[in-house]
Amino acid sequence: MFVFDPMYLVFVGPALLLGLWAQFRVKSTYATTQQMPAPLSGAAAARYVLDSAGLQNVAIEQIPGQLSDHYDPRDKVLRLSAEVYQSRTLAAVGIAAHEAGHALQHAFGYAPLALRNAAVPVAGFGSNLGILLVIVGAFLQAVLHWSPVVIWLGILLFSGVVVFQIVNLPVEFNASSRAKQQLVGLGIIDQEQLYYVEKMLNAAALTYVAATLQALMVLLYLIMRFGGRRD
């Protein structure tokens, strides 16, 4: 029961490879755009985007780490890594504007963002516990001949991860779209610079696509491998 199943790689392998490729693309495009100058720092660009949308109440903070940038809807705070916060580069303004895009989504009631935020606890709870319940349920069924109810409970919990990843896709794509519109519309970057920012944001979006595909294929594998057990 616990011997490695080659079918797992058949299901999940392509998504894993896509994820590795996406991570490589993110790092390479980030390194390239980090060398290209911009007229504003990431913090200043984010402030300009937020203020132009009437969001003076959204604060901007510097936090440690690399590519740890995020928007916290609970506290209405845009948190930027030191490199993004301080640098006057295309990478910095692109990432900062993307995160500001999430603040705009929050302020203007973008429905998929509300769904994603509601799904965060379920996804965090179901990711590890779901897999654990499937393994425990399979053991109990094989050894003690229990019903597959524990297995299906684990699969149901893990399906919350898949739902979260699917809902997250339009949120991230929309934030990038808002970022590009704002950066050009406010005159922070021109069309030539937009090409490089777009490449970086598209590479980042690919990581979310890979994560969604991986979660979906793991779910399908669990259903195939354990969902139909009767012995």
List of residues 6+ apart from 166 with CB closer than 8 A: 212, 216
CB count within 10 Å of CB 90 equals 27
| R_g of the chain, CA atoms, integer Å | 21
Q: What does the block give as tokens for 213?
A: 């595909």
Select which of 61, 83, 99, 172 is catalytic.
Answer: 99
Closest by Cα among 82, 204, 215 to 158: 215
83 catalytic residue (yes or no): no
Q: What is the DSSP string of 128-151?
A: HHHHHHHHHHHHHHHHH---THHH
Cβ contacts of 220 within 8 Å, gap of 6 or more: 11
Catalytic residues: 99
